[in-house]
Amino acid sequence: MPDAAMTMKNIRLAGRLYDLLIRPVMDFVYGWSITTKVRLLLIALVVLPSIGGLILLESRPNDLQTYFIVALIGTLVLLAPLSNFIADYLVMRDLREVERFCLKLKGGNYHVTFDLPQQVDEERDILVLKRNLNWMAHVISRREMQLETELAKTHKDRERFADMSLRDQLTGLYNRRGMEERLAVLGHEAWAVDRPLTMLFLDADKFKEVNDTYGHQAGDELLQNLGAIIRTNVREGIDVPFRYGGDEFGVLLVGNDLEHAERVARRILRAYEEVRIGQSSLSIGIAMMTKTDNGYLQDTRQLLSDADQAAYAAKRAGGNRVHLHTPTEGPKTI
């Protein structure tokens, strides 16, 4: 244990000496430009051996031949490791750092940066390159954030425009296209799990008289009020209120039978009587989807047809009433 403690102490001491003496020198040399490094290497490899040869020529000329032979052999032996050292000393260390930096950028890490000293007026070329790479990474990161923001905005706009294409502009309810899309989805779910799916089909009676007598603005206000009444009396996010076209409206009631649909229809009928204009009234037809072997698409089309026929039957009976389509018991007007 004492030997191990002594070893750790020596290691820590060596580390402190390295940080105090060697590390500053290496950082200082590392901060030199490539041109300065080349000049120093030329002095070390060319000028110093030449000076040594001149000294031998003056003092011991007989050993000059031996000196050059040793120098030549030493150069050949040390050529590979010396060239690797020179390359690493000049550029390879920096190039490896640049390579690691670029690999991180390639991997999508745009927040990577070089740890560089404070900028001064005259810097070596590799430092300038690294500062430019840092700035490039910053610009890419900023533009990526801007792109993500724009993509998110575009996605929201696309969803909003897609929803607008399925909505009636006057009432805010689903339009015919929106209803048909929701009917296909809800019909498939109801058909697959035997869940009730009921439709109310509403027709505003004598609506043309309202337009002719009170004007189209009054007619639009009446339709808006009717749309608001329908929306208020159904479950938001579950049921599907829609404007089929003109003065025809409807609701898809999810998971409700005819009895519940009748109560909803009566609430709508009573609320409409409070906002109606002139002699206008509502004819409401109710039908429930019946599962057959024809498939859910045919069954949903039949549901729409049954509800439409039930509303037409209520209108023929004088309007301002509810008509239930009951295939097993026959039509029933209430």
The per-residue pLDDT for 332 is 45
In terms of Cα–Cα distance, which of 247, 251, 246, 248 is closest to 265?
A: 251
Give the number of other CB atoms < 10 A from CB of residue 238: 12
Write out the two tokens for 70.
């040793």
How many whole angstroms separate alpha carbon 109 and alpha carbon 107? 6
Q: Between these two residues, 153 and 55, which has the higher pLDDT value?
A: 153
Q: Is pLDDT of 91 > 70?
A: no
Residue range(s) of every CATH 3.30.70.270 domain in the chain: 176-333
Closest to 72 measured CA to CA, from 93, 53, 51: 53
Instruction: Classify each residue of 251-260 as buried b or exposed e, where b means 16 or more C-beta atoms within 10 Å of its C-beta.
Output: bbbbbbebee
Dihedral sign (CA 136, 137, 139, 144): positive
pLDDT at res. 179: 92
Please state the rounded mean pLDDT for residues 271-297. 90
Mean pLDDT of 85-102: 73
Q: What is the mean pLDDT of residues 70-93?
A: 67
Rounded Cα distance, 165 and 174, in Å: 9
pLDDT digits (tens, 9 = 90+) for 228-256: 999 999 999 899 999 998 999 999 999 99
Q: Sorting pLDDT into bands at 50, 70 and 90, what band is 47?
A: low
Band (330; pLDDT cuts 50, 70, 90) = very low
Residue 3 burial class via C-beta count within 10 angstroms: exposed 0-12, middle 13-18, buried 19 and up: exposed
pLDDT one-digit tens code per residue, 144-198: 888 888 888 877 777 777 667 889 989 999 999 999 999 999 999 998 888 999 9
pTM above 0.75, yes or no: no
Mean pLDDT of the chain: 81
Beta bridge mates, 149: none
Give Cα separations from 23 to 14, 15, 18, 139 (angstroms). 12, 10, 6, 33
44 vs 28, residue with greater confidence: 44
pLDDT tens readout for residues 96-125:
888 888 888 888 887 788 777 676 666 567
What is the model's pLDDT at position 331?
Answer: 44
pLDDT for position 115: 77
Q: Are 264 and 251 in contact (CB under 8 A)?
A: yes
Average pLDDT, integer, range 303-328? 90
Q: Does the pLDDT value for residue 82 go beyond 70?
A: no
Pairing of strands 248-254, 332-333: unpaired
Structure confidence at residue 219 (pLDDT) = 92
What is the distance of C-alpha 288 from the center of its chain? 40
- Please give the Cα distance from 245 to 168 (Å, whole number): 9
Helix (H, G, I), strand (E, B) or coil at 284: strand
Contact indicator for 332, 265 with CB cutoff of 8 Å: no
Q: For 98-119, what is the HEC assignment?
A: HHHHHHHHHCCCCCCCCCCCCC
Distance from C-alpha of 37 to C-alpha of 29, rounded to nearest angstrom: 8
Q: For residue range 17-42, list pLDDT tens digits in order.
A: 656 666 555 555 555 565 666 666 66
199: enclosing H helix or E strand: strand 197-205
Buried b or exposed e, range 307-332, using 16+ CB within 10 angstroms: bbbbbebbbeeebbbbbbbeeeeeee
- Which of 168, 205, 247, 308 is catalytic? The answer is 247
Higher pLDDT, 1 or 284: 284
Q: Is the pLDDT of residue 276 over 50?
A: yes
Instruction: Please give the share of the chain, as a percent, with pLDDT higher than 90.
Output: 36
- State the pLDDT at residue 126: 73
Q: How far is CA 101 from CA 98, 131, 301, in A?
A: 5, 12, 62
C-beta of residue 250 within 8 angstroms of C-beta of residue 240: no
Q: With pLDDT > 70 as the criterion, what percentage of the chain qualifies? A: 69
247 is an active site residue:
yes
Question: What are the φ/ψ torsions at residue 263 (nearest 5 degrees)?
Answer: -65, -40
Looking at the structure, give the CATH architecture of the domain made up of residues 176-333: 2-Layer Sandwich (3.30)
Rounded to whole angstroms, the Cα distance separating 287 from 230 reads 17
Per-residue pLDDT at 333: 44
